[in-house]
Chains A and B, each alone.
Chain A
Amino acid sequence: MRLILRLAWRNVWRNPHRTGLTVAATVFAVLLVVVFVAMAAGVHDKMIEDSVRLSSGHVTIAGAGYLEERTLEKFVHFDPKLARELDTTPGVVGWAPRVVGFGLLSNGPETHGIAVLGVDPARESAVTTLPGRVTEGRFVGGAGSHEIVLGERLARSLHAQLGEQLLLYSVAYSLEMAYDLFTVVGTMKLPDPAMDRGLGVVNLRDAQSFFVYGDRVSEVAILARSADETSVVQAKLEREIPGKDVAVYGWPQVMPELVQFIFLDDASMYIMLVILVVVVAFGILNTLLMSVLERKREFGVALAVGLRPKAIFSLVYVESMLLAAVGLAIGLGLALPLVLWLVGHPIDLHSEAMRAMVELLGVEPQIVWKLKVMNPVGSAITIFAVAAIAALYPAFKASRARPVDALRSI
């Protein structure tokens, strides 16, 4: 085996040009795979993080069936016990209780149906970026202030100026008419056009008294340390807040469209990478086959002097594996530092075309990279496996050479 390894190593460098090209192809494949996978991981992570910080949090506690039908009938009682539970659950970085209702917001002749979001301003900024999205004026004040902050488009279509009082009209949880005047104190820019056109934010307590909701809230948004910890925190909370009327949702349940997008995006990327790897594999196959055909005479002589076909098979196979290993080593050696550098250097894409993505997904247009252990390991295994399969045929071909024919050919 040592002998074969040494022979193979020498054979590999007998034709440096050919070897160099094959190695270069492998290096290129490794580089592309690692960088692309890291980019997808980074971009997807950022999408999740941005969406989570826009509204839902990583984990959401709400009334059972809330995701199917977000009405006032779906609620949780937000009592001190629940607050204590959230404060003492490890992995919970922040939490924000909210009331989500529906109302008609009217300014003179203009009336629009809106989602009314009641938030605790101090708690909200610990979980979401909502308070930071105010572009004009300021965020809602304390309980009893009767202030409202509107999406920019909503404010525009209502012709609402800062300081104006608007009528909010709805049906309370107690099934009586709910109406009150709210003062516009700010407008905010929301990436989702539907939200920008149809969201009004008020103080949590104002929303609770408007909807005659008592200590009820529609949802509690919870921030974990990262998206990766979502299921852990979700499981912990599920254990600690039992009850058939309460549900604990993870962000994939709250935002299935995001999960779907990531799945599709990953799928198309992997298909592309598989095609790339297969092309590289055919390159390697071609090189090896050419070299085997060129060395027909050599193999014939080796067989004639008594080398067993099995040994020739091993020799050629080990040569191929060495080629792949060298390519892989150089590829990873280049890719890892590159990706590690890229991780610290996201690329901003504030172009007109990217605005569409922002509006569609509520994500900042930025390309970021994230390196997970599975990325280089998985790439190495995949490329090695493909090379191992590609090498089978040339090795087989070499071992089947017949001494008489081989010696007769050049």
Chain B
Amino acid sequence: MNALRIVGTALGVLWLAATTAVADVAAAASEAPLPDAREIARRAEDVLRGASAYTDGEMTIVSPRLPAPRTVRFRSWDDRGGDRSFIRILAPAKDRGTGFLKIFPNLWTYIPRVERTMRIPPSMMLQSWMGSDFTNDDLVRQSSQLDDYDHVLLRVEEGFQGLGGAGPYRAYVVEYRPHEDAPVVWGRIVTWIEVVHASPLRQEFYDEDDVKLRRMDFGDIREVDGRFVPHLWVMTPLEKQGYETRIQIHEIRFDEKFDDSIFTTRNLKRRD
């Protein structure tokens, strides 16, 4: 008698599972076919960086240590194809002319005040970049978000509220999972990407123990040459209170051909 009841329950569970699965498939089929997750990630990367990008912007560091936020003005030349970039600091006056040259995987800095060029060793990649919540690694490895990770579409999120109350957006939620032997520091990255224009909206960075360490929010989306480009990036470290680094882009131009002479240690030392 009991045995019969158990079999009956088991059959019921199976039936329930089967019908739910059918319902899921039906729901999925009723929508447009989902694009490939890697393709979504590639489009987002293209919105942010293009094949190359010239940026004029400023970085603001907020910290409980500081009586007032500290601002750094910079210009950058990012040649994604060549995996190289160049950053020149314009302000504060004390650091004016300081340069950073990245030719993957190397990073050099030049400090005009003491007239010295220094290669930042690989072991120092996780150190803060100019006191901000960005690391040296963020400067060097950005492009590897495509090459060093597998991309998995987790879900489509409706009503995503963007930075400063923008939106609501419909967003793909894509998980970036690092390749087995990839030289990356993150356990995984979860990225929200707007469905229509592929503007990145948010990234959450988890360490290898799956602790969420920091969050980057993208806002102030403006159209530039047909791209919907976030002009405000806000990095928030989650393990400490009251810290935040904002990058506000004043001007960004895409897909220009950069002269090779930009990406040289000679250019580092040039006084602009």
Query: Which residues of chain A have a CB within 8 Å of any CB of chain B?
Result: 73, 104, 106, 109, 111-113, 167, 169, 171-177, 179-181
Is the CB of B165 closer than 8 A to any CB of chain A? no
Q: Is the CB of B65 within 8 A of A173?
A: yes
Inter-chain contacts of B94 with A (CB < 8 A): 176
Contact A167-B131, Cβ < 8 Å, known A113-B121, A175-B66, A179-B111:
no
Query: Which chain B residues (111-159) contact chain A, with CB distance < 8 Å?
Result: 111, 113-114, 116, 118-121, 123-124, 127-128, 130-132
Of the listed residues B92, B98, B111, the one surrounded by the most CB atoms of chain A closer than 10 A to its CB is: B111
Q: Is the CB of A113 within 8 A of B123?
A: yes
Contact A177-B130, Cβ < 8 Å, known A106-B116, A167-B111, A167-B114:
yes
Q: Is the CB of A177 within 8 A of B95?
A: yes
> CB-nearest residue of chain B relative to A172?
B131
Query: Which residues of chain B have a CB within 8 Å of any CB of chain A?
Result: 61, 63, 65-66, 70, 92, 94-95, 98, 109, 111, 113-114, 116, 118-121, 123-124, 127-128, 130-132
CA distance A177 to B94 in the complex (A): 9
Given A106-B118, A171-B128, A175-B61, list of 13 further CB < 8 A pairs? A104-B120, A104-B121, A111-B118, A111-B120, A113-B121, A167-B111, A167-B118, A169-B109, A172-B131, A174-B131, A175-B63, A177-B130, A179-B113
Inter-chain contacts of B113 with A (CB < 8 A): 179
Q: Which residue in A109, A172, A176, A180 is a CB contact (below 8 Å) of B114?
A: A180
Distance in angstroms from B74 CB to nearest chain A CB is 12
Inter-chain contacts of B116 with A (CB < 8 A): 106, 167, 181
Q: Is the CB of B131 within 8 A of A176?
A: yes
Distance in angstroms from A169 CB to nearest chain B CB is 6
Inter-chain contacts of A106 with B (CB < 8 A): 116, 118-119
CA distance A180 to B118 in the complex (A): 13
Inter-chain contacts of B66 with A (CB < 8 A): 174-175
Of the listed residues B116, B124, B132, the one surrounded by the most CB atoms of chain A closer than 10 A to its CB is: B116
Inter-chain contacts of A175 with B (CB < 8 A): 61, 63, 65-66, 70, 128, 131-132
21 A-B pairs, CB-CB below 8 angstroms?
A104-B118, A106-B119, A111-B121, A112-B121, A167-B111, A169-B111, A171-B127, A171-B128, A171-B130, A174-B66, A174-B70, A175-B65, A175-B70, A176-B70, A176-B92, A176-B94, A176-B130, A177-B111, A177-B130, A177-B131, A181-B116
> CB-nearest residue of chain A relative to B131?
A175
CA distance A177 to B114 in the complex (A): 13
9 closest A-B pairs (Cβ-Cβ)? A175-B131, A106-B118, A171-B131, A167-B116, A171-B128, A179-B111, A111-B121, A181-B114, A175-B61
Distance in angstroms from A82 CB to nearest chain B CB is 21
> CB-nearest residue of chain A relative to B92?
A176
Inter-chain contacts of A169 with B (CB < 8 A): 109, 111, 118
Distance in angstroms from A357 CB to nearest chain B CB is 29
Q: Is the CB of A111 within 8 A of B111?
A: no
CA distance A195 to B123 in the complex (A): 17
Inter-chain contacts of B70 with A (CB < 8 A): 174-176
Of the listed residues B61, B92, B113, B131, the one surrounded by the most CB atoms of chain A closer than 10 A to its CB is: B131
CA distance A169 to B132 in the complex (A): 15
CA distance A35 to B128 in the complex (A): 55
Inter-chain contacts of B131 with A (CB < 8 A): 171-172, 174-177
Q: Which residue in A109, A113, A173, A180 is a CB contact (below 8 Å) of B119?
A: A109
Inter-chain contacts of B119 with A (CB < 8 A): 106, 109, 111
> CB-nearest residue of chain B relative to A171?
B131
Distance in angstroms from A23 CB to nearest chain B CB is 64
Distance in angstroms from B108 CB to nearest chain A CB is 10
Of the listed residues A106, A109, A169, A177, the one surrounded by the most CB atoms of chain B closer than 10 A to its CB is: A177
Inter-chain contacts of A172 with B (CB < 8 A): 131
Of the listed residues B66, B98, B114, the one surrounded by the most CB atoms of chain A closer than 10 A to its CB is: B114
Inter-chain contacts of A174 with B (CB < 8 A): 65-66, 70, 131
> CB-nearest residue of chain A relative to B63?
A175
Distance in angstroms from B101 CB to nearest chain A CB is 14
CA distance A181 to B63 in the complex (A): 28
CA distance A171 to B94 in the complex (A): 14
CA distance A176 to B66 in the complex (A): 10
Q: Is the CB of A177 within 8 A of B98?
A: yes
Q: Is the CB of B95 within 8 A of A176?
A: yes
Inter-chain contacts of A167 with B (CB < 8 A): 111, 114, 116, 118
Q: Is the CB of A179 within 8 A of B114?
A: yes
Inter-chain contacts of B98 with A (CB < 8 A): 177
Distance in angstroms from A272 CB to nearest chain B CB is 42
CA distance A172 to B127 in the complex (A): 12
CA distance A106 to B124 in the complex (A): 13
> CB-nearest residue of chain B relative to A175?
B131
Distance in angstroms from A103 CB to nearest chain B CB is 10
Distance in angstroms from A181 CB to nearest chain B CB is 5
CA distance A299 to B119 in the complex (A): 93
Distance in angstroms from B265 CB to nearest chain A CB is 11
CA distance A73 to B241 in the complex (A): 13
CA distance A112 to B118 in the complex (A): 10
CA distance A111 to B124 in the complex (A): 10
Inter-chain contacts of A179 with B (CB < 8 A): 111, 113-114
Q: Which residue in A104, A109, A180, A181 is a CB contact (below 8 Å) of B124?
A: A104
CA distance A233 to B113 in the complex (A): 46
> CB-nearest residue of chain B relative to A166?
B116
Inter-chain contacts of B124 with A (CB < 8 A): 104, 111, 113
CA distance A112 to B119 in the complex (A): 10
